[in-house]
Amino acid sequence: MTGNIPKSIEDYLNQLRAALAGEDPALIQDALYDAEEYLRAELAANAGRPQSEVIADIVRSYGAPEEVAEVYRQQEATVKKALQTPPPIPRESALGRFFGVLSDPRAYAALFYMLLSLATGIVYFTWSVTGWGLSLGFMILIIGIPFLLLFLGATRLLSLLEGRIVEVMLGVRMPRRPVYQAQDNGLLSRIGDMLSDLRTWATFVYMLAMLPLGIAYFTIAVTGLSTTLSLLFAPIWSLFDGGHIWWDGDIVQVHWWWTPLLSVLGFIGIVLLLHLARGIGYLHGQLAKVLLVRVEADS
């Protein structure tokens, strides 16, 4: 064990934050939540003892901040290795890299996320608008403050759910714990802490933005899939329909020797769509990281 023995919860958390400097902000948020929850529970169980003595005992049992940080690093490496998708086969040529996206599971997961985003976007947008509307309306009643606290707390849990979806489908590490909220504080104090936290407002920005983003993602995915699959299976459609195919709502006469070319165009279109989905997935993952993860390393 190195460094000074922490004398308070804040001191312990600061040392743990410093020991985890440079790690993923989502990992830091999880570690700080777990540590603070444990520390406060131990202090509550030893209410008659000085805080410095309790913290010293915790350091001997739970571990010093440097030791806890190392445990989290090891666990993170183990979990990351277990959840990591099979790496794509290295391609040397530009053509190989272009078609290599067909074997990339992350591209398909991102495409599925684009299809799912319309539903989640509607849910997030409706939740945010309705929740704030009811919260402001209830402020004239006695239930207004408890309702606002419940709404803000539920929103944090909803952001964790979105984080799990983003992590599984887009491969971006997201928090598995919320920002710790001391339960012994009064209602007004807890609401004030939430409202003064920049991440609370960033979360609502994300949820409101998910509706237009979800519409755009869904439109791109559905339009791309319908167009490319129609071209890919054009020879089969033409066989069953006397050389006719549907295109943009109209029946088009296509000679049989053109249909293989349409299939080639459809196949290339699918490859381009997967590249686009992978790019959108990467960008959206970075957006979620910025708006939903509290950066503790610089605190």
- Whether 109 has a pLDDT exceeding 90, the answer reads yes
Which of 118, 292, 131 minimizes the C-alpha distance to 218?
A: 118
- Whether 242 has a pLDDT exceeding 70, the answer reads no
What distance lies between CA 159 and its chain's CA centroid?
8
Predicted local distance difference test score (pLDDT) of residue 61: 82
* pLDDT (mean) for 155-179: 89
End-to-end CA, the chain = 23
Predicted local distance difference test score (pLDDT) of residue 83: 64
Please state, for a pLDDT cut of 90, what percent of the chain lies above it: 31
Task: Give the span between the Cα atoms of 21 and 33, in whole angstroms.
Answer: 16
The band of 112, judged by pLDDT with boundaries at 50, 70 and 90, is very high
Which of 211, 206, 216, 217 minimizes the C-alpha distance to 121?
A: 211
Predicted local distance difference test score (pLDDT) of residue 10: 87
Q: Which residues contact 206 (CB under 8 A, 6 or more apart)?
A: 124, 159, 162, 287, 288, 291, 292
Angle at 160 between CA 155 and CA 166, to 5 degrees: 125
Predicted local distance difference test score (pLDDT) of residue 299: 39
Predicted local distance difference test score (pLDDT) of residue 257: 56
* pLDDT (mean) for 122-130: 96
Q: Among 98-102, 104-108, 208-212, which is the least confidently predicted range?
A: 98-102
Q: Which residues contact 126 (CB under 8 A, 6 or more apart)?
A: none
- Whether 197 has a pLDDT exceeding 90, the answer reads no
Torsion-angle region of 242 (φ positive above 0: left; ψ -120 to 50: alpha; else: beta): left
* pLDDT (mean) for 167-190: 77
Structure tokens at 108: 């398909």
Task: Give the span between the Cα atoms of 188 and 190, in whole angstroms.
Answer: 6
Predicted local distance difference test score (pLDDT) of residue 252: 54
Predicted local distance difference test score (pLDDT) of residue 279: 96
Q: Which residues contact 172 (CB under 8 A, 6 or more apart)?
A: 166, 285, 286, 288, 289
- Whether 260 has a pLDDT exceeding 90, the answer reads no
Task: Give the span between the Cα atoms of 212 and 72, in whole angstroms.
Answer: 37
Q: Among 144-148, 177-181, 212-216, 269-273, which is the least confidently predicted range?
A: 177-181
Task: Give the span between the Cα atoms of 6 and 47, in whole angstroms.
Answer: 18
* pLDDT (mean) for 244-264: 60
* pLDDT (mean) for 217-228: 94
Contact 107, 101 (CB under 8 A): yes
* pLDDT (mean) for 254-268: 74
